[in-house]
């Protein structure tokens, strides 16, 4: 399986379990690795035979900006579902970064990574 990766998609969302997270929001960063067969697209040099990563990026940002959830695990699952709606995508790895998580000690990042595939 071939891979198409998008790294560092950024959007403001209102996800979290604390009221201030829901009220003030914060920036979330998403990395994606889409698994698909790119041979038909490469053979014909045809965008219609692969995944349009610009559209995927817009859809992922819309999920992050959309309905708030408590957990970034839930957010990652929703992003994976959106990616798998694209016909050619057979598998997706989603990493959601929450660099401004409400943690009381110094840290660089909090991430959740999931992998989902068509069953």
Q: How many domains is the chain built from? A: 1
The catalytic position among 10, 65, 90, 98 is: 98
The pLDDT tens digits of the residues spanning 1-51 come to 999 999 999 999 999 999 999 999 999 999 999 999 999 999 999 999 999
Give φ, ψ of 38 to 5 degrees.
Answer: -90, 0
| 106 three-state secondary structure | coil
Please state, in angstroms and as integers, the Cα–Cα distance from residue 88 to each residue in 34, 48, 63, 99, following that order. 9, 10, 20, 31
Q: Residue 48's domain is classified under what CATH number?
A: 3.30.1130.10
What's the residue count for the chain?
119
Q: Is 65 a residue of the active site?
A: no
Nearest in space to 98 (alpha carbons), one of 20, 1, 21: 21
- Six-digit token string for 42: 């490469």
pLDDT value for 47: 95
Query: Which residue segment(s) compose the domain that 102 sits in?
Result: 2-117
């Amino acid at each position: 399986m071939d891979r198409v990766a998008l790294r560092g998609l950024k959007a403001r969302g209102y996800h979290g379990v604390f009221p201030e997270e829901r009220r003030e929001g914060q920036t979330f960063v998403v990395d994606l690795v889409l698994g698909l067969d790119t041979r038909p697209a490469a053979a014909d040099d045809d965008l219609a035979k692969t995944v349009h990563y610009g559209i995927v990026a817009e859809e992922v940002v819309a999920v992050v900006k959309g309905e708030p959830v408590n957990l970034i695990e839930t957010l990652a699952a929703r992003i994976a579902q959106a990616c798998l709606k694209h016909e050619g995508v057979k598998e997706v790895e989603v990493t959601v970064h929450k660099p401004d998580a409400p943690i009381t000690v110094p840290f660089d990042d909090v991430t959740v990574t999931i992998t989902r595939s068509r069953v």
